[in-house]
């Protein structure tokens, strides 16, 4: 990007009265969902850059917002609630478009509530989600796993199932004596047949854990790259690495190891043996893991990193791999800019972005960790950053609300539900079709700021 001509946002979305804490693209980039410190959520129509639905989702600040299919939105607030809302294109017509900035607006109706989970939000940690089955896309799945901090022990993680709302497990990552502080950032996803959990802690520790068939969780990796709390994390599209950013100036790239396939995932100790640390047949140390099962299991032995794509040598002076648990990061960078959060890797894995407390949005190379661009428009701190999904217009998501195949633009919100004819010759698109095409295919980066505004950038 040229240094002579500073980049400018393509659009500014104004309407929040308080700071924007969360942004995310939903419905194949045709909507941007944003949440603020007063608990308001706005669904922005990116085909016309106007609000389509505005409601107060929580009585406390919004911590996280996410889409679930084309007809559901999940929000998490500081009122200790996680709520799943049903909001279809038709539902938007019944909701208010009066922005939170308009204090004279009448009370705004809420969408239909499908589920409410009473959770712990004292950690300022946003929820993470994934499908309960490895062969089912989260976007079109009727079920969901949601991970949040545990209510009683803020360093532990609860995993709930939706729509049953049952807590499936409570994950304690490490011994009771280990002081990690509160969990600050989470991610939950499948790699092959393995369910993986990433957790970032108040003391700067990052942990990777994998669920065993019996329900116990094996720690694959742990490393403390940060001297201050981790604020955000995200994993690469190849699911071989993840990045963390914190209140300090460090951004770290960590491996996501593979469990040793030669080691059976069964307890290696008899029931009478209950040491916190024991050794397997090869002499490697194995940590005993707590679970919510009636008969707690032990971690499997011989966990080792076998990542095939992380070829960079670890930074000099960093500790080598600990027995049984990987503890060597790929790269640790001191950016000289403290307070970067909202870290997100773009869907193509080429770049990632952070929202800075110094009001700047920074774009980095995911491969080299080099800073590529500094986007400056806001005058006050930024808290949220989100990338649109690349190629969303070409993906067939098989949604119930989708009027046609993935290559066919859906009907405009609020207009006729008639699908757009696929025989329209190139170059003869209507204004509506061009707007939909632009919204789907733009390389959007959205940044939410303390000033209540959202800047939209089209980059790389």
**pLDDT for 24-55, tens place per residue?**
999 989 999 999 999 999 999 999 999 999 99
Q: Is the pLDDT of residue 278 over 90?
A: no
Higher-confidence residue of 117 and 178: namely 117
pLDDT band for position 3 (cuts 50, 70, 90): low
**What are the angstrom distances between the C-alpha of 116 and each of 60, 69, 113?**
15, 18, 8
What residues have CB less than 8 Å from 37, skipping those under 6 apart?
18, 19, 21, 61, 62
pLDDT tier at 221, thresholds 50, 70, 90:
very high
For residue 206, tell me if it sits in a domain: yes
pLDDT (tens digit, 9 = 90+) per residue, 298-324?
Answer: 323 332 332 333 333 444 344 444 447
419 has a pLDDT exceeding 80: no
pLDDT of residue 300: 31
Query: 72 is in which domain, residue-wise?
Result: 11-259+328-410+442-458
- Does residue 109 register a pLDDT over 70? yes
Residue 289 within any structural domain of the chain: no
Domain-embedded: residue 59: yes
Provide the domain count of the chain: 1
pLDDT at 288 over 60: no
- 441 burial (CB, 10 Å; 0-12 / 13-18 / 19+) is middle
Residues 233 and 343: their CA atoms lie apart, in Å, by: 6
Question: What is d(CA 368, CA 250) in angstroms, rounded to the nearest whole number?
Answer: 15
Tokens 């960590």 correspond to 254
Q: Is the pLDDT of residue 12 over 90?
A: yes
Tell me which of 299 and 278 has the higher pLDDT: 278
DSSP 125-162: ---EEE-SSTTS-TTT-S-EEEEEE-SS-TTSEEEEEE
**pLDDT given at position 430:** 76
User: Residue 438: which residues within 8 A CB-CB, separation 6 or more?
Assistant: 47
Could you tell me if residue 138 is inside a domain? yes
Give the residue-averaged pLDDT of 102-107: 90
Global pTM reads: 0.78
Within 8 A by CB and 6+ apart from 316, the residues are none
pLDDT score recorded for residue 253: 98
Per-residue pLDDT of 124-143, as tens digits, reads 899 999 999 988 887 778 89
Model confidence pLDDT, tens digit, residues 424-436: 555 577 777 777 7
**Residue 397 confidence (pLDDT):** 37
Cα–Cα distances in Å, from 18 out to 49, 168, 414? 20, 36, 28
What is the average pLDDT score of the chain?
A: 81
Predicted local distance difference test score (pLDDT) of residue 204: 95
Stretch 105-118: mean pLDDT: 94
In a domain, 352, yes or no: yes
**Ranges 278-287, 300-309, 339-348: which has the least confidence:** 300-309
Percent of the residues in the chain that have a pLDDT greater than 70, as a whole number = 77
**338 in a domain, yes or no?**
yes
Q: Which of 14, 17, 65 is nearest to 41 (CA)?
A: 65
Residue 74 lies in a domain: yes
- Dihedral of CA atoms 54, 60, 65, 68 in degrees, nearest 10, equals -80
Q: Please state, for a pLDDT cut of 90, what percent of the chain lies above it.
A: 62
pLDDT value for 262: 44
Is residue 310 a part of any domain in this protein? no
Kindly report the CATH number assigned to the domain that includes residue 360.
2.130.10.10
What is the tens place of the pLDDT at every residue in 152-193? Answer: 888 999 999 999 999 999 999 877 777 889 999 999 999 999
In this prediction, residue 425 carries a pLDDT of: 57
Q: Is pLDDT of 267 > 60?
A: no
* Residue with more model confidence, 264 or 13: 13
pLDDT at position 74 over 80: yes
């Amino acid at each position: 990007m040229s240094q002579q001509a500073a980049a400018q946002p393509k659009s500014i979305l104004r309407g929040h009265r308080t700071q924007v804490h969360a942004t995310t693209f939903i419905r194949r980039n045709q909507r941007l969902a944003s949440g603020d410190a007063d608990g308001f959520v706005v669904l922005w129509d990116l085909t016309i850059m106007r609000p389509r639905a505005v409601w107060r989702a929580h009585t406390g600040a919004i911590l996280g917002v996410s889409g679930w299919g084309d007809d559901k939105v999940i929000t998490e607030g500081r009122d200790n609630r996680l709520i799943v809302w049903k909001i279809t294109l038709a539902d938007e017509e019944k909701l208010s478009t009066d922005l939170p900035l308009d204090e004279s607006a009448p009370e705004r109706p809420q969408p239909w509530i499908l589920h409410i989970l009473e959770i712990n939000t004292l950690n300022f940690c946003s929820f993470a989600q994934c499908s309960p089955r490895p062969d089912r896309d989260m976007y079109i799945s009727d079920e969901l796993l949601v991970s949040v901090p545990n209510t009683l022990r803020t360093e532990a993680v609860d995993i709930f199932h939706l729509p049953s709302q049952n807590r499936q497990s409570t994950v304690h990552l490490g011994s009771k004596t280990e002081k990690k502080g509160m969990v600050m950032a989470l991610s939950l996803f499948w790699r092959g047949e393995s369910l993986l959990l990433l957790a970032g802690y108040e003391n700067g520790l990052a942990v990777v854990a994998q669920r065993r068939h019996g329900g116990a969780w094996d720690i694959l990796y742990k490393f403390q790259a940060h001297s201050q709390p981790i604020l955000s994390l995200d994993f690469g599209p190849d699911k071989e690495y993840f990045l963390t950013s914190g209140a300090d100036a460090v951004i770290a790239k960590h491996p996501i190891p593979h469990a040793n396939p030669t080691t059976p995932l069964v307890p290696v100790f008899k029931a009478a043996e209950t040491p916190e640390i024991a050794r397997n047949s090869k002499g490697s140390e194995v940590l005993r893991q707590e679970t919510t099962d009636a008969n707690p299991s032990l971690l499997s032995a011989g966990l080792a990193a076998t990542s095939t794509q992380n070829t960079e040598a670890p930074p000099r002076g960093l500790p080598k791999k600990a027995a049984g648990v990987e503890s060597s990061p790929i790269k640790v960078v001191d950016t000289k800019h403290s307070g970067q959060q909202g870290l997100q890797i773009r869907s193509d894995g080429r770049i990632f972005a952070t929202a800075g407390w110094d009001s700047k949005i920074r774009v980095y190379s995911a491969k080299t960790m080099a800073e590529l661009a500094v986007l400056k428009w806001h005058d006050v701190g930024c808290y949220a950053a989100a990338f649109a999904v690349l190629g969303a217009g070409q993906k067939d998501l098989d949604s119930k609300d989708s009027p046609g195949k993935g290559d066919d633009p859906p009907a405009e919100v609020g207009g006729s539900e008639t699908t757009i004819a696929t025989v329209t010759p190139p170059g003869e698109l209507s204004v509506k079709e061009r707007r939909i095409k632009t919204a789907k295919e733009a390389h959007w980066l959205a940044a939410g700021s303390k000033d209540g505004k959202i800047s939209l950038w089209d980059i790389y």
